[in-house]
Amino acid sequence: MIDRRKFLLSSLAASLGVTLPYNVKSSVAPGSLSAAPGSPVIISTWDHGIPANEAAYQSLLSGGSILDAVEAGVRISEADPDIGSVGYGGLPDADGNVTLDACIMDPSGDAGSVACIKEIMHPISVARKVMEKTPHVMLVGEGAQKFAEKEGFPRENLLTPRAKKAWEKEKALKNNLSPVGHDTIGLVGMDKSGDIAGACTTSGLGFKMPGRVGDSPIIGAGLYVDNEVGGAAATGWGELVMKTLGSFLVVELMRNGAGPEEACREALERIRRKVPLDSEHQVGYIALNKSGNTAGYCLREGFEYALHSNGKNHLIKAPSLL
């Protein structure tokens, strides 16, 4: 039987002309998966994680650091006009502006982030510059945009004709637009020497309130990496992830002995116990630990993640809590 939420989202996606990830064939995850010792492991959210993982892997093969790799991976999604939830082609806010959020963490525990930035196609690379070139962790809005321009990032129109049409269609239907979607890319990677980094980038919920920022650029919410323990990333309804500091929680649970699957599941249990849920709410977590074990888990059926490990890059259907 088709689940109602999946059906509603599929219909919405079809009417908006954007792709949602759950039609792609995948295998069911049996639990936390392990990689051969000493080989790179890359895990990322949704089906657009497949090309992102590949780019991250190629970056490692050509001598890049794990930080270079995670950045290179998610830049693929940011530049893809067919992904309605990240970078170029992302659905706009209720006023028709595409605003982007991103963050990055390196193995030393350093972090950079940008939020509500406009007209810059690669917010992940701006987040990296914030980390490397400023004494700060996060820049937002106009300040982030000015910094990006100073660093040589071109200003570009990110609203594709398809995303504009989707927004106009929604506007014609209702005055107060409701936010939709949940396909952020979060990517966590480990190189062959065991160093871990992560990146997360999104256009946030489509048709969101102007000025709204979700979990994705918040260190500890959308992404967290601790090189002694592992890394985690989130996708879905950002407010739920922010209220429980989800990615940090997953990493802390792993620090205290949980495997990646148990940690993701427990972080979702925390949401279920602490945050009032409505039928539209979805959250998916991915996690990778220091031994190269990986897992994904979600609140409701429909979340898939991409895993590049032992030389194979494949999609896995995450188990769900509800």
Q: Which residues are catalytic?
A: 184
Q: Where are the beta strands (DSSP E) in the chain?
A: 27-28, 41-45, 99-105, 111-118, 138-140, 185-190, 196-202, 223-226, 230-236, 283-289, 294-298, 304-309, 312-317
Question: Quick check: 296 binds ligand ASP (CB under 6 A)?
Answer: no
By rule CB under 6 A, what count of residues binds ligand ASP?
Answer: 15
- Could you tell me the smallest distance in angstroms from the CB atom of residue 237 to ligand ASP? 6
In the complex with ligand ASP, the residue whose CB is nearer, 85 or 293, is 85
The reply to whether 99 sits near ligand ASP by the rule CB under 6 A is no
In whole angstroms, how close is the CB of 156 to ligand ASP at the nearest point? 21
236 binds ligand ASP (CB under 6 A): yes
Strands 230-236 and 223-226: antiparallel
Instruction: Choose between 112 and 236: whose C-beta lies nearer to ligand ASP.
Output: 236
Give every strand in the sheet of 196-202, ordered side by side: 27-28, 312-317, 304-309, 41-45, 185-190, 196-202, 99-105, 111-118, 138-140
CA dist 183 and 12 (Å) reads: 14
What are the distances in angstroms from CA 118 to CA 76, 107, 147, 152, 218?
18, 28, 12, 15, 17
Interface of this chain with ligand ASP, residues 142 to 181, rule: CB under 6 A: 181
Spatial CA neighbour of 93 closest among 202, 196, 235, 209: 209
Q: 180 to 219, contacts with ligand ASP by CB under 6 A? A: 181-184, 202, 204-205, 214-216
Report the residue number, 170 or 215, with the smaller CB distance to ligand ASP. 215
Minimum CB separation of residue 151 from ligand ASP in Å reads 24
When asked if residue 238 is in the footprint of ligand ASP (CB under 6 A), the reply is: yes
Q: Mark the segment that binds ligand ASP (CB under 6 A) among 61-69, 108-116, 148-156, 236-244.
A: 236-244
Cβ distance to ligand ASP smaller for residue 182 or 270: 182
Separation in Å, CA 230 to CA 134, 151, 191, 312? 26, 31, 12, 21
Closer Cβ to ligand ASP, 57 or 303, answer by number = 303
Question: Pick from 19, 32, 44, 85: which binds ligand ASP (CB under 6 A)?
Answer: 85
Contact footprint for ligand ASP (CB under 6 A):
85, 181-184, 202, 204-205, 214-216, 235-238
